[in-house]
Amino acid sequence: MRSFDEYRKIINDHLTDLIGDPGEEASELADAMRYSLEVGGKRLRPALLMASCEFAGGSVDEALPYALALEYIHTYSLIHDDLPAMDNDDLRRGKPTNHKVFGEAMAILAGDGLLSTAAEIVTGCPLKYFEDPEKMRNHIRAAHEIMSRAGARGMIAGQTADIKGENLEPTAELINFIELHKTADLITAPVRVGLMIAGADDDILERFTLYARDIGVAFQILDDILDIEGDQELLGKTLGKDAEQGKCNYAFVHGLGAAKEELHRLTAEAKEALAAYGDKASFFTELADSLEARNH
């Protein structure tokens, strides 16, 4: 196992390797896709994917295309989320949002380009393993996992509930649905995909799914807390938008104190899910702690 910084370096070194060349006539598309990828980001999801794969005995080389695909999907979701028709944001990752630099039409296309490139990458991976049916099966499972968690029963369902929930009286059920799908699905996907590529058994998959869901929900609760009392410069995005736009926010329903308690409870539960592995899982338990303490 490597450190988080080592995984992040691998991702950053290869970030645009699989973007491809859309041709001279469409060169602005590649510029817009690259812009949002290279403008920054913690690389949490791809790091989780590579770490899970190595934890279960797989290799970083095998995990890398999926890790890139996942960062492409995550980046597309941020580009589209920032559009005037959605959250209408000028700032992301500390820099002007994609549509502020390239215009709305190009930002929509850059998002579409990143999502479809990701689909192309993950459906291409199993094709390398025709001679090894077990590996091919693992890769098909992984490809399905990533696209379904990103899709209409995953992240898009969460985003829809978030948009439709604007200016409604938020309920605990609605908040849970949004956290689980808008955010936790794209944090659960990398963990499960990394394990699937490595051929991990159901017991490992189950424990790690619990871990990932908990840190994913905790991630969104902290995002909600930071929207209220975070540091705008550190976060690199406009704060106070949830109140301004009548968004569902965990702290609006349960209060800030309860939000902090739930963040802590979920972090503890996530670590407990991996207790059986002791120090072998320290990458993941330490990551859960550092996510609970993050200020950006």
Please give the structure tokens belonging to residue 269. Answer: 């539960």
Give the position of tokens 């976060």.
235
User: In whole angstroms, how close is the CB of 83 to ligand GRG at the nearest point?
Assistant: 8
What three-state secondary structure class fits 231? coil
Question: Can you tell me which of 77, 97, 98, 249 binds ligand GRG, judged by CB under 6 A?
Answer: 77
Dihedral class, residue 200 (left if φ above 0, else alpha if ψ from -120 to 50, else beta)? beta
Question: Per CB under 6 A, does 49 bind ligand GRG?
Answer: no
Question: Can you tell me which of 8, 80, 149, 181 binds ligand GRG, judged by CB under 6 A?
Answer: 80
Q: 44 vs 281, which CB is nearer to ligand GRG? A: 44
Dihedral class, residue 83 (left if φ above 0, else alpha if ψ from -120 to 50, else beta)? beta
Q: Could you give the dihedral angle defined by the CA atoms of residues 276, 280, 281 and 287, in that order, rounded to the nearest 10 degrees?
A: 150
Separation of alpha carbons 276 and 282, rounded Å = 11
* Interface characters, 81-120, with ligand GRG (x: CB under 6 A): x----x------x---------------------------
Question: Can you tell me which of 54, 185, 223, 242 binds ligand GRG, judged by CB under 6 A?
Answer: 223
Question: Per CB under 6 A, does 194 bind ligand GRG?
Answer: no
Q: How many residues does the chain have?
A: 296
Among 2-10, 36-44, 55-63, 246-254, the segment contacting ligand GRG (CB under 6 A) = 36-44
Q: What is the CA radius of gyration of the chain?
A: 19
The CB-nearest residue to ligand GRG is 41
* Residues forming the site for ligand GRG (CB under 6 A): 41-42, 44, 77-78, 80-81, 86, 93, 155-156, 159, 182-183, 220, 223
